[in-house]
Each structure stands twice: as C-alpha cells, then as structure tokens.
Amino acid sequence: MKDAPTRDAYGQALVEMGADPRIVVLDAGVSDSTRSKKFGEKYPERFFNMGIAEADMVCTAAGLATTGKIPFATGFACFLLGRTMDQVLVSIAYSRTNVKLVGTHTGLAVGEDGPTAQMIVDIAYTRAIPNMVVVQPADWEETTQATRALAEYDGPVYFRLGRPKVKAIFDSSYKFEIGKGRVMKKGSDLVIFATGIMVQESLKAMEMLDGNKVTLVNISTLKPIDRDLIMEMASSHKAVITAEDHNLIGGLGDAVGEVLLDAQISKPFKRIAVKDQFAETGTRAELFEKYGLSANHIAQAVKDLLK
C-alpha cells in the first residue's frame, strides 16, 4: 500500500508492463507531469512525445493500434479531450480501435492550475461516446491493477487520473475488474457511491459519523457501470448519495440515477458534485470546501438524508 497520486502509479505500472513489446506510450508534451516519462526513459523506442498536438497524438495512437500495438495516449484531460473530440469519435470510438486515452490532472483537485485546467466534464464526454469504457481508480493499488487490466482489454478506454496524493485504500489482496464496483464498508441505512478522490473524502466523512449506518461503495468503472450492485445497495438502504469531483451533469450521479430510474427504485437521493459552475484558483482543500466536495459536506448530506 502506498500514499501517492494515481498518475504516479500509472507511470510505474507502464514501466512494469513495458516488457510486452506491444505496449507503446504517447504523450502531448507533458510527460513529466503525467509520469509517462518513466516509460520513455526505459523504453525510448516505444515512447512518442508528440508535443502540443493532441489531435495528432490521438490519430497516431489509432494508427499504431491497427498494427497490433496497445497505445496509451496520455495528456492533461482538459487538452486530451478538449482538443480532440472529432478524432476520438471517429478514429477511436467509431472505429473501435484499441487505444487507451489517459487523462490526468482532473477535477477541482488540480487546484492551483486554475479553472481552464480543472477538467470537470470529461466523464460526461466519454460516458456519452459509444464503445468507450470509462475508468477512474481511487488509489495506487487500484490504478496499478486497472492499468494492466485496460492493456488486456481490447477496445477504446478513457482512464481518468488525478494530480494530488491520495491515501492508500487497497492492498494487494484487492482485485480490480472492469465493470465492477466494490463495497468498502457496510452499513445499514444510507449508501454512498463514490469515485476517484471522492472515495478518500467519503472515508473521512464516515469517520465523523456513526459508521454503522453508512455503506461506502467504490465505483471505479463509470461505464459500463455495475448496475446489479447499484440496484442491490439502493434497494437495501433508505437513501443514496453519490460523490464525485466532476460536474453534477453527466457524471457518476447521473449514471447512478439512470440505473435507479430504469429499475424504478425510488429513494432520497443527493449528489455531491460541482454544481454546474466554473471554480477558481486555489488549493484542493479550499476548493473542495467552497464548492461542496469536502468530507464536511458529505457528512452533512448524510445527516440531512437520515433525519
């Protein structure tokens, strides 16, 4: 177990997977920040720094995939998706090419990078794209396992990673599986579905509360989402909360809500998310508190729903 940013775990996992000659890594001029540089240092013949040319990188990755390679196209999420949607839609999703799009520096957790870099709509983008798998790990161990699992999966993927250090949650006994959530703590009255860094915030919130009343579920695959687990947990609890560092439109909250709507499960429901607004420059802790994402806000939402 290791306290570290998920981007660090991704870079290390690429190095460990590098013995497979099919693995190739592309980066859009930010390889030091995304940690893909680690792979490039060990396997320079299979590392391509494309510079500030994300559309070119995505198309190059698609071309490499058609030759049997497994490309990880890496960049800051705001640029990786913001500048390439046509290429992603046509060259990757529509064509079902085996490309892993890896977006780092996501959500308000980016903090001091400011609002133009705080990517809060990427889950909405990618969930809406046919053929696209969407994964966001919660810690080092899950990131490591997910990177390997996505390399084995044949098809387009969006892999959402963060900048800040997160506490270790899982140990080596944990087994990541695409499309499966994980019950982390079992309670009786209310269930929290959390993803990414918000798993850590939810655990902090539970320390402030009567832990016997709250169940926490880690949703690391946003698409395909674990419908069976969501229906089971929602049906067996009195209320539901979702927690994500993303806009409340199109993210985890909507994904869970869609499952409950389809299954005709009606429960009190609260979404902890960015409230459809741009933020500002500040530390992660400051922004989480101001914009309603902190453990304090999660704990208060639990209290309100359980009244």
Confidence of residue 141 (pLDDT cuts 50, 70, 90): very high
The pTM score is 0.96
Q: Within 10 A of 41 (CB to CB), how many other CB atoms are there? A: 11
Catalytic (active site) residue 141: no
Cα–Cα nearest to 60, from 20, 21, 101: 101
CB 20 within 8 A of CB 69: no
**pLDDT of 211 strictly over 80:** no
Sheet holding 23-27, edge to edge: 47-49, 23-27, 70-76, 100-104, 157-160, 133-135, 221-223
Q: Which two tokens stand for residue 120?
A: 């809060």
- Per-residue model confidence as pLDDT tens digits over 20-51: 999 999 999 999 999 999 999 999 999 999 99
Distances, alpha carbon 209 to alpha carbons 130, 131, 205, in Å: 40, 40, 7
Question: Within the chain, which residue ranges are assigned CATH 3.40.50.920?
Answer: 182-306
- Per-residue model confidence as pLDDT tens digits over 158-207: 999 999 999 999 999 999 999 999 999 999 999 999 999 999 999 999 99
Give per-residue burial for 103-124: e unless 16+ CB within 10 Å, then b: bbbbbbbbbebeeebbbbbbbb
Q: Determine the average pLDDT of the residues in 119-138.
A: 98
Write down the pLDDT at residue 14: 98
* Residues of the chain above pLDDT 70, percent: 100
Q: Give domain 6-160's CATH architecture.
A: 3-Layer(aba) Sandwich (3.40)
Identify the active-site residue in 16, 45, 54, 201: 54
Write down the pLDDT at residue 256: 98
**Cα distance between residue 1 and residue 282, in whole Å:** 29
Q: Which two tokens stand for residue 241?
A: 């909360």
- Per-residue model confidence as pLDDT tens digits over 218-264: 999 999 999 999 999 999 999 999 999 999 999 999 999 999 999 99
**Cα distance between residue 118 and residue 285, in whole Å:** 14
**Cα distance between residue 86 and residue 126, in whole Å:** 12
Residue linked to tokens 């000659």: 21
Residue linked to tokens 């893909």: 36
Write down the pLDDT at residue 210: 72
Please give the backbone phi and psi of residue 158, each rounded to the nearest 5 degrees, phi first.
-110, 125
Task: Give the CATH number of domain 182-306; options: 3.30.465.10, 3.30.450.40, 1.10.10.10, 3.40.50.920.
Answer: 3.40.50.920
Question: Within the chain, which residue ranges are assigned CATH 3.40.50.970?
Answer: 6-160
Q: Give the β-pairing of 70-76 and 23-27.
A: parallel
Alpha helices (H) along the chain: 6-17, 31-34, 37-42, 54-66, 77-80, 85-87, 122-127, 140-152, 197-207, 227-235, 252-263, 284-290, 295-306
Return the HEC string of 20-64: CCCEEEEECCCHHHHCCHHHHHHCHHHEEECCCCHHHHHHHHHHH
Q: Within 10 A of 260 (CB to CB), how many other CB atoms are there? A: 18
Confidence of residue 120 (pLDDT cuts 50, 70, 90): very high
Confidence of residue 307 (pLDDT cuts 50, 70, 90): confident
